[in-house]
Structure 1
Amino acid sequence: MNKQQWFKQAIIVSMSATIGLGTLMATGVGTAPAAAATASVSKGQSIVNLGKNYMGVRYEFGASTSTTRVFDCSSFTKYIFSKYGKTLPRTSVAQSKVGVAVSKSDLRVGDLVFFSSGSRANGKNVTHVAVYAGNGKILHTYGSPGVTISDLNSGNWKRTYLKARRVL
């Protein structure tokens, strides 16, 4: 192999290595799984991401906590938080008493938000719980849509908002 051929071969190998490593870095292939991948994602975001997998699952008041075929608002939050090591009480009222209070303006992804809405509401008592999903959105389940994402700052959810709690 003459000098010119050797030089071309060296450039090709070098460029291939650079492209290959760049691809590995960009895709995460060959890096430590789960731990490295989730290190940059908050636990709250992981909980929301898990909850989104259940979009459309039917709402049923009083749903069992041992199924994912149907949820009510608090069985849903109890379930998705449990998958990340956080045990929540069964009811929205009981969930509204854990963690620390957080203002609406200081919400973080994964905070629990509470409402007084529906037939049992009187404007003061907690009747519904949701998870703050970021960007003014909540992840929750109620009525005919089942598990869904709603706008915290409009309509019923703006009108019936009571408080928020940080449990993570």
Structure 2
Amino acid sequence: GESGHTPAAGTGRAGAAFAAAQSKLGSPYQWSHAGPSTFDCSGLTSWAYAQANVSIPRTSEAQATIGTRIYSQSQLQVGDLVFFFNDIHHVGLYAGNGQVLHAPRSGTVVRYESMSTIGGPFMFGVRV
């Protein structure tokens, strides 16, 4: 494997989900779509985990209620769900190095983005 590419390669379910999401880089954002060719934010995360044979809820708000919460950004691992904004209406997959793999908003495509430029505060992560 590559060395030094990400601080911690995703392992197990999270790694499989992250790899699935990576295969959708460049796919268009479409509200309320959960793949396989267009996605909204929680559609991408739920589709990605489904490829890892893990069923998670469809909406970001519901996804925030599962798994183990991680409040320290330094504890996040690749593939963890990461939630933004006070009403947790946005979710992505942690990509390492302070980056998120996500479907940002209408008019964009699935892409990497720095957590600092999402536009809302990082609230917490969830390890599924």
TM score, norm. by length of structure 1: 0.64
CA contact (8 A) 1:59 1:70 kept: yes
CA contact (8 A) 2:17 2:50 kept: no
Which structure has more helix as a fraction of its residues? Answer: 1
Higher RCO (CA 8 Å, separation ≥ 6 residues): 2
Write out the 4+ residue segments of structure 1 that deviate beyond 4 Å after TM superposition. none
AA matched with 1:165: V
Rg larger in structure: 1
Number of residue pairs the alignment of both structures matches: 117
- Name the SS for the 1:85 alignment partner: coil
CA contact (8 A) 1:45 1:133 kept: no
Q: Distance in 1 between matches of 2:45 and 2:10?
A: 19
Q: Distance in 2 between matches of 1:41 and 1:161?
A: 20
Q: State percent identity of aligned pairs.
A: 32
Q: Distance in 2 between matches of 1:54 and 1:48?
A: 10
Q: Distance in 2 between matches of 1:41 and 1:106?
A: 13
AA matched with 2:83: F
- Name the SS for the 2:118 alignment partner: helix
Q: Which runs of 5 or more residues in structure 2 are unaligned? A: 1-8
TM score, norm. by length of structure 2: 0.83
| Structure 2 residue 112 is matched with structure 1 residue 149 | yes
CA RMSD of aligned residues (A): 1.7
Q: Which runs of 5 or more residues in structure 1 are unaligned? A: 1-39, 117-123
Match of 2:16 in 1: 46
